[in-house]
Amino acid sequence: MIKVLVQLSKLCSHFAILFFSNRVVSIFYRSVPIFLTIYILFRITLNLDNCSPWYDEAMQFWISFGCDPDEITMDNSVVEVVKLNQIFNHDPGGFSLLLHFWLKVSQSIEWIRLLSLLFFIGSVMVISLTIQSLFKDKLLSFICSLIPFLFDSLLYFSTEIRAYSMECLCSSFSMLAVCILPKQKALGKITLFSIMLCLLMTSRYSAIIEVAIAMLVIALYWLRHYRISAKERIFFLIVPFVTIACLIYFFSLSLQNPSIKTPHYIDTSFKIDGLNITFFLIPPCCLFLFSHFKNRILVTLALYVTLLNFAFLILAIFNIHPADIRSKYCIGVFFVNIIFLILLLAKLLSSIKHHTKHNIALGIITLGILLQHRSLSMRKGQDFLDTKELCKLYEKKIYVDETLSPTLKYLTTCGTAKVWKKDINNQISFQKQSPHVLDSNGHMEVTKKVENLDLSFFDIVITTNPISLKNTSDWKNYSNYFYQNIK
C-alpha cells in the first residue's frame, strides 16, 4: 500500500511539474508580444530626442512651415508651402503639406520627428494586416511584422524629417492593395484604396512608380479573372491615380526637374553584389514556383515585386535612378522587397504543422530585437549642432554658410537655442540659399551671384567644410563646424 502511495505521489508530482512548466511557457509566450511592443516603442521613441536637424531636415521644416529660409515670417499659407517645395525640394510635396498642418500644433523637434515615426509604425502595422489577410494567424502576423525593426537603415530613417517613412507606408500599402484588391468587388472600397495609394505616392517620385505598377498588376488580374466587370473596376482604380499624377506633374515635376534628369550629386553607378542580385532574382524565381502551386495571390505579389525591380533596373540603366538597393533613394523598393521576404517567411511558417513553430520564431525574433538595442535608438543625442557649444559664442560676430543656415535658424527661432538668441544680442549673418531647381544636365540652376565675402570681419565662421582662406593661420578649428578668427 505504501509503495502504491509512493508511486501515485511521484506520478502526481510529474503531472504537476509538466502542467506547471507548460503553463509557465504559455504565460511567457503570451507576455512576450506585450513586452516586445512596449520595449520597441520605448527604445525607438528615444530617437525623437535629437534636437539638431541637419540641412535637409531643416530645409524641410522651413518649406513645410511656409517660410523662405532667407526671409523668415510666421504667417504663410499652403500656397507658399507649394512654392517653396517647388524651389527647394525634389519630391512631389505631399509630405511638406502634411507637415505644414502638423506644425500648427507645435514646432518642437520631438513633435516634428513624431510624424515620420508614425508613418513608419503605420507601415509595420500594414505589414501585419497583409500577413493576417493571407494566413489568418494573428500571432504569426505579429512575429513577422517585427522584422523591419532588425534593419538599421529603416530604423535611422524612421525619424528623419523627410518623406522616406511616408514612402515606406506607401510601399506596404501597395503590397496590401495587391493582396486584397484582386478579389474585391465593392467599387467604393476600390476607390478608397486608390485614393489612399494616390495620397501616399505624393511622398516621393519613386513612390509613384510603386503605385502605378501595383495598379497595373491588379488590373491584369481583373482582366484575366473577371472580364465582365473588369473595366468598371479598373476605371474606379485608375481615375484617382491619373488625376493626382497630373497635379504632381504640373505643380512639382515640371518646375523642379523638367528634363527628368537625376541630380548630379546622386551616384547612379551599378552596384553588383550579393544583396542586389539576391533581391533581383528571388521574386522571379518565386513567381515561377508559385505559378505551379496555383496560388493566385502569391503569384500576383511575386509578379508585382518582379515588375517593380525590373522597372527600377531599367531606370538605372538610363541613369535616371540609383541602382543600389542600399541607397536611401531606393528605400521604397528596398521596403517592398523586405515585405516580400517577410511574406515568404510567413508562408514557410504557416506550412509547418509543429506546435512549437511560433515559439521558436518568436524566440529568434526576440533575440534579434534585443541585439538591436543600440540601433533602435541610434539617433538619440546625435545632434548635428551642439547648442551648448553655440551658447559659448555670446557677443561674437558670427557668419553661417548656406549648409548650416537653415539648421541654425531653426535652433534660434523654434529650437533649443531660442532662449539664447532672445537673451543675447549676437551679430549673426546667414549666407542665402540657392534654389534646388535642376537644369537640363541635372545640375542646380544658380541664379545668384557668388559674392566674395570678407570673412575677416567675423569672429566665428560656422560651416560644414573647412574654410578656404589665403592666410589659414588666421583661423583655428574651435570645435566641429566652428572656426575661430585669431585676431
pLDDT at residue 124 in the model: 97
259 burial level (CB within 10 Å; 0-12, 13-18, 19+): exposed
**pLDDT (0 to 100) of residue 426:** 67
Task: Report the distance separating Cα 182 and Cα 168, nearest Å.
Answer: 22
- Burial (Cβ within 10 Å: 0-12, 13-18, ≥19) of residue 426: middle
Low-confidence ranges of the chain (pLDDT < 50): 4-6, 8, 10-11, 13-21
Please tell me the distance from the alpha carbon of residue 463 to that of residue 55, in angstroms, as a whole number. Answer: 11
Domain boundaries, the chain: 31-48+90-377, 387-485
pLDDT tens digits for range 283-298: 999 988 887 777 788 9
- φ/ψ of 481, rounded to 5, equals 75, -5
Edge-to-edge strands, sheet with 397-400: 427-430, 397-400, 460-462, 482-485, 475-479
Q: What is the pLDDT of residue 393?
A: 76
pLDDT for the residue numbered 18? 43
Cell 508559385, residue located: 290
Q: CA–CA separation, 414 vs 472, rounded Å? A: 34
